[in-house]
Amino acid sequence: MAIFLTGATGYLGSYLVAGLLTEHRDTLNLLVRAKTEQEARERLWTSLQLHFAFPEFLEFLNTRVRIFRGNLTSDLFGLSDDEYHALVDSTDSLIHCAASLNRKSEKQCLNVNLRGTLEVIQLARCAQNRHGLRRYSHVSTVAVAGKRQNEIVTEDAAIDWSRSDYDPYARTKKFCEHMANQLLADVPKTIFRPSIILGDSRRGDTSQFDMVQAFHVLAQMPVLPLRPDDKIDIVPANYVGKAIVSIHQKDAPAHGIYHLSSGTGSQTYHELTDVLAQAGGRMRPTYSPWLGGTFSRTVNWAANRTGAIGHGASLLKVFWPYLDWNTVFDNSRVVAELGETPAKFSTYAHALLKFSRENKFRYPAKPWPSGASADVAANPTARGAGS
């Protein structure tokens, strides 16, 4: 039997795949969008080289991974009947990590987050009816808490249907949680709500740059339209990945919902900019929160322009509400479950920005090594729909 995982080629998904392969013995059923088997393998390689060298990656791919080439938003994921039945029969738990983070596009969020989650829930229902499921783990977001200001939010108090949402991403993710709870009432479930996932506390390397670019822009501004003592809840990807993998694999987690966050240990803007200024040899910025309205209007105007200015402004426009809300999410549940707290952003922020700037906010992915395709193609467990 296997763990079915969506989002394996994404940033957080790569941490889940790596954690499951290195720390556990389960086989993985991975849904990968690709036209050919080789394209699917190359997409996985691009994502997972953050964690593995090629010979090790190839060994895992040959022995522990089954690729199902499909699309999250297609009926039965676009698989043939035989492939879908094989997926149902071989899956004994699910981790649904795939999502659209396009906060500007309601269409994209509705399509990927709602339709995609419904397809995953239907797979879980089929597997539960056929042979029973060990667990359904759903990766959500703290943004389901809606518009907040100056709060510490606990897991059980986060969902408030009378509260407005910041964007289509937050709104659709809230409904995804609701669907899972309503349609899989008889299945053991765990809901994970990460806060802002930014970098890896063990190294500067990253392959996810949108939020990093937003911080890059802010770090270069001599005047910041923020309140210096506001906290921002940032958590490293390696902590989030470890939490999801560890708790998913437990027989009886203590809770059904976990905030994967820095909680009350979140740092203030003043703390972060002091560290970044010292590490980079720059002057500390001046804080002028009264400029917030003017800054927001300027960003909205600049976001419609082309080039680097327009791109940077569009990123700030999307993330600005999350930078301005001074809200953190209680993480006492996950800290108790794991026995450790997440690393503070200040301890690795400079390394993250340095790596990102040196690589011009693109991950220097290595191509698929020549001569390796035949070895993988000979492995029947790696074949998916249409093989």
For residue 373, what pLDDT is reported? Answer: 62
Please report, as a single letter, which amino acid is at residue 22.
T
Give me 126's structure tokens. Answer: 């089929």
* pLDDT (mean) for 38-64: 96
Domain-located, residue 151: yes
Domain-located, residue 87: yes
DSSP-derived letter for residue 262 is -
Domain-located, residue 31: yes
100-112 pLDDT, tens digit per residue, is 877 667 888 899 9
Q: What does the chain come to in residues?
A: 387
Q: What are the Cα distances from residue 81, in Å, to 78, 125, 297?
A: 9, 16, 52
234-279 pLDDT, tens digit per residue, is 999 999 999 999 999 999 999 999 999 999 999 999 999 998 888 8
311-322 pLDDT, tens digit per residue, is 777 777 778 878
Would strands 189-194 and 135-139 be described as parallel, antiparallel, or unpaired?
parallel
For residue 316, what pLDDT is reported? Answer: 76
271-329 pLDDT, tens digit per residue, is 999 988 888 777 889 999 998 888 888 888 887 788 777 777 777 777 887 888 999 99
For residue 377, what pLDDT is reported? Answer: 42
Q: Rounded to whole angstroms, how far apart are CA atoms 109 and 116?
A: 10
Domain-located, residue 349: no
For residue 383, what pLDDT is reported? Answer: 42
pLDDT(7) > 70? yes
Q: Is residue 195 within 8 Å of residue 260, measured between CB atoms?
A: yes
Q: Is residue 54 within 8 Å of residue 372, measured between CB atoms?
A: yes
Supply the CATH number for residue 167's domain. Answer: 3.40.50.720
354-370 pLDDT, tens digit per residue, is 999 999 999 999 999 98
Place of tokens 């229902």: 125
Give me 13's structure tokens. Answer: 């998904």
Q: Which residue has the higher pLDDT, 320 or 34?
A: 34
Instruction: Give backbone dihedrals phi and psi of 71, rounded to 5 degrees, phi first.
Output: -125, 130
Domain-located, residue 299: no
Domain-located, residue 310: no
Q: Please state the domain count of the chain.
A: 1
Give me 14's structure tokens. Answer: 């790569």
Q: What are the Cα distances from residue 9, in Å, to 100, 165, 233, 241, 282?
A: 13, 28, 25, 14, 36
Q: Which residue has the higher pLDDT, 83 or 308?
A: 83
pTM: 0.94
pLDDT(376) > 50? no
175-220 pLDDT, tens digit per residue, is 999 999 999 999 999 999 999 999 999 999 999 998 898 888 888 8
Q: Rounded to whole angstroms, how far apart are CA atoms 42 and 309?
A: 33
Please report, as a single letter, which amino acid is at residue 383.
R
What range does the domain containing 139 cover? 2-196+232-261+327-343+363-382
Average pLDDT, the chain: 92
Domain-located, residue 173: yes
By C-alpha distance, which of 219, 178, 164 is closest to 356?
A: 219
Domain-located, residue 128: yes
Q: Rounded to whole angstroms, how far apart are CA atoms 80 and 86?
A: 10
pLDDT(145) > 90? yes
Place of tokens 């056929």: 130
